[in-house]
Amino acid sequence: MSGWVIFAVLFWLAAWGLNEFLVRIRTRDRTAETAINLAVPVIFGITLLVGWEGLVRGFNVPPVLLPPPSVIWERILLSIPNPIWPDFQQTFLKSVLVGYAIGCGSAFIVAIAIDRSPFLKRGLLPVGNFVSALPLVGIAPIMVMWFGFDWQSKAAVVVVMTFFPMLVNTVAGLNATGAMEKDLMRTYAAGYWQTLLKLRLPMAWPFIFNALKINSTLALIGAIVAEFFGTPVVGMGFRISAAIGRLQVDMVWAEIAVAALAGSLFYGVVALIERAVTFWHPSVRGGRAR
Amino acid sequence: MVRVAESRWFAVSVVVLAIIAIWYWFTIQLNMPWQQSVYARAGEENVPFWQLLDDLFSQQRPVLPAPHQVAVEFWNSVVNANPSTPRSLIFHAWITLSATGLGFLFGTVLGIVLAVLIVHNRAMDRSLMPWVIASQTIPILAIAPMIVVVLNSVGLTGLIPKALISTYLSFFPVVVGMVKGFRSPEAIHLDLMHTYNASGAQVFWKLRWPSAVPYLFASMKVGVAASLVGAIVGELPTGAAGGLGSRLLAGSYYGQTTQIWAALLMAAALSATLIFAIAAVERLTGRLMGARA
């Protein structure tokens, strides 16, 4: 029993020491620096997994409570073709992506529309700020009642959840343009649309991408939670609640791992697009912040 | 007159009134098919308009309840129900609020501790920070019900499991905000502390901590809203145990739409109250610390 625990503790101490050593290396070499920056968090992550495995095995935690990562990994490999891939299609490719696109897209259009009216901006912004702090997942049962059990109701939940953060951030971004730049555009005799496309939208991209990144995780949460309120017999949320009922905890964790991976990848893709679009922004252009 | 028209309150009230009007319109549209089928079965034709409107707004299980129906249900279950019985929304709100508060407290303390470690230790900064960010891309909310069920089977019941979910959701904004806050003192101030021969603890308590306070409140406002969501979702599987989340689930099982909307209204009121409370504490602290108003 204690062999596993001792191994986990030793591994943790060794990894900690290694990390303390790695961050103290001063190097001029760019590639070496990147490698260190990557290695440190990776070592930390591996330590977490080894610690989990060691403690669960060492203390004989029943797998019903917490299965070790190796068991979860086996379960993922075994069940990719059958439950996981169809679940992923149903939840991620249908509910999340469709809802995310409609929610963010419509909020973007609405933001540009109300941006022309100071009155609407004054009135809608506080309301939007308030609504985006609300526990909007709560509308999931209502959406399931309205749009049925299939993915449309989940997409509707995602639309509502993603709409307000996007709206508030886009309006804030469109207001980020300084008076000097606007005056400059005026001296160029630029029209409303030219100013919007060439000055104000580029200035707003950092805000908009901030909202897109927040929404990427919100969308996944919304879709999975909405599936708890009724769903056809496929989908990640359905699989999680069904597997809990049968005490197949390794299946639950496998779905969670897939969801986490999908969420991180989604976030990562949005972040990559952000780097490409806002290449001029100080936080992207390199150099160390502070 | 012009000043009234340009004030923020006027604009907000106009928008809110417009939303209520749109809501009524949707109520009529969405509840019409069912009402017409009722009339068809009863063989009634040419129902007078006011009668139709009255029937539309008094359905037992409307697709979308009218605002005043929600308000009446809210009033009945808040004021007219005994707060110690599950019929009362205050009963449910209190259960949710206690889980939220406990989780929020844990989350804030955990967030501050992590931020202190990250600011003072380079290895922690490099290894922990990416994982703190990655932890939020995991849809933890989605597995919240499972965590509650699993913790229940270990013997942890009641508030703690829900509070843990709230903790997980609320520690992140605090970590990010406080790391920024602890690093916000300018180099010139740090240098001044250095010339005073201040120790690390003194720098922390007299310089870093005071300059991080505004960041703390900003992130606490985000964190408390997240805690509330966590507590509500954590209540979904507990069923009869009570709380706004179980109220939502019960409403969805029995088709009690008005009850769902009333619970949502309560959640909204709760979240607004919590944020206002933190803003009030923020103003008070600012005044005590001698901030410029």
Q: Is residue A282 part of a domain?
A: no
B265 touches chain A (CB under 8 A): no
Q: A166 vs chain B: nearest CA distance in angstroms?
A: 16
For residues A290 and A142, give the distance between their C-alpha atoms in angstroms, rounded to a whole number: 47
Domain match, A145 and A263 both: yes
Residue boundaries of the structural domains of chain B:
2-64, 89-288
Q: B245 vs chain A: nearest CA distance in angstroms?
A: 8
Q: Is residue A195 part of a domain?
A: yes
B135 touches chain A (CB under 8 A): no
Instruction: Find chain B residues with C-beta within 8 A of A229's C-beta.
Output: 249, 252
- How is residue A10 written in tokens? 């030793």
Q: B186 vs chain A: nearest CA distance in angstroms?
A: 10
Domain match, A101 and A241 both: yes
- How is residue B200 written in tokens? 């690390």
Q: How many Cβ atoms from other residues are within 10 Å of residue B52's Cβ?
A: 16
- Residue of chain A whose alpha carbon sits nearest to that of B152: A65
Q: Give the residue, B256 or B143, on which the prediction is more confident.
A: B256
Residue A250, pLDDT above cutoff 70? yes
Residue A145, pLDDT above cutoff 90? no
Domain match, A50 and A114 both: no
Q: Is residue A63 part of a domain?
A: no
Q: pLDDT tens across B100-159, in order?
A: 999 999 999 999 999 998 888 877 777 787 787 777 767 676 667 667 777 777 777 777
Q: pLDDT tens across B181-224, in order?
A: 888 888 888 899 989 998 888 888 988 888 888 888 888 888 88
What integer pLDDT is reported at residue B163 of this predicted model? Answer: 86
Are the C-beta atoms of residues B274 and B228 closer than 8 Å to each other?
Answer: yes
B145 touches chain A (CB under 8 A): yes
CA atoms within 13 A on the CB side of A288: 2
Domain match, A164 and A209 both: yes
Domain match, A29 and A129 both: no
Contact flag B15-A16 (C-beta cutoff 8 Å): no
Percent residues over pLDDT 90 in chain B: 7
Dihedral, CA of residue B69, residue B270, residue B89 and residue B245, to nearest 10: 100
Residue A64, pLDDT above cutoff 50? yes
Phi-psi region of B158 (alpha: psi -120 to 50; beta: other; left: phi over 0): left
Contact flag A40-B123 (C-beta cutoff 8 Å): yes
Give how far Cα A202 sits from Cα of A101, A111, A186, A198, B151, Å: 20, 15, 17, 7, 48
Domain match, A21 and A118 both: no
- Which domain-ending residue is among A37, A58, A79? A58
Domain match, A119 and A259 both: yes
Going by C-alpha positions, the residue among B265, B177, B158 that lies closest to residue A142 is B265
What integer pLDDT is reported at residue B1 of this predicted model? Answer: 55
Q: B197 vs chain A: nearest CA distance in angstroms?
A: 24
Domain match, A53 and A143 both: no
Domain match, A10 and A146 both: no
Going by C-alpha positions, the residue among A105, A9, A93 that lies closest to residue A50 is A9
Q: B156 vs chain A: nearest CA distance in angstroms?
A: 12
Correct CATH for B89-288 of 2.40.50.140, 1.20.1250.20, 1.10.3720.10, 1.10.1660.10: 1.10.3720.10
CA atoms within 13 A on the CB side of A199: 19
B271 touches chain A (CB under 8 A): yes
Domain match, A54 and A78 both: no
Interface of B with A in 60-119 (CB under 8 A): 63
For residues A48 and A132, give the distance between their C-alpha atoms in angstroms, rounded to a whole number: 34
- How is residue A184 written in tokens? 């400059």
Q: Is residue A224 part of a domain?
A: yes
Mean pLDDT of B226-235: 83
Nearest to A41 among B130, B233, B244 (CB): B130
Q: pLDDT tens across B282-292, in order?
A: 889 888 887 65
- Residue of chain B whose alpha carbon sits nearest to that of A254: B143
Domain match, A17 and A134 both: no
- Residue of chain A whose alpha carbon sits nearest to that of B154: A65
Q: pLDDT tens across A67-102, in order?
A: 888 888 888 888 887 788 888 888 888 889 999 999
Which CATH number does the domain housing residue A182 bear? 1.10.3720.10
For residues A187 and A76, give the distance between their C-alpha atoms in angstroms, rounded to a whole number: 61
How many separate domains does chain A show? Answer: 2
Range(s) of the domain holding residue A35? 2-58
Q: Is residue A290 part of a domain?
A: no
Are the C-beta atoms of residues B125 and B272 closer than 8 Å to each other?
Answer: no
Domain match, A176 and A272 both: yes
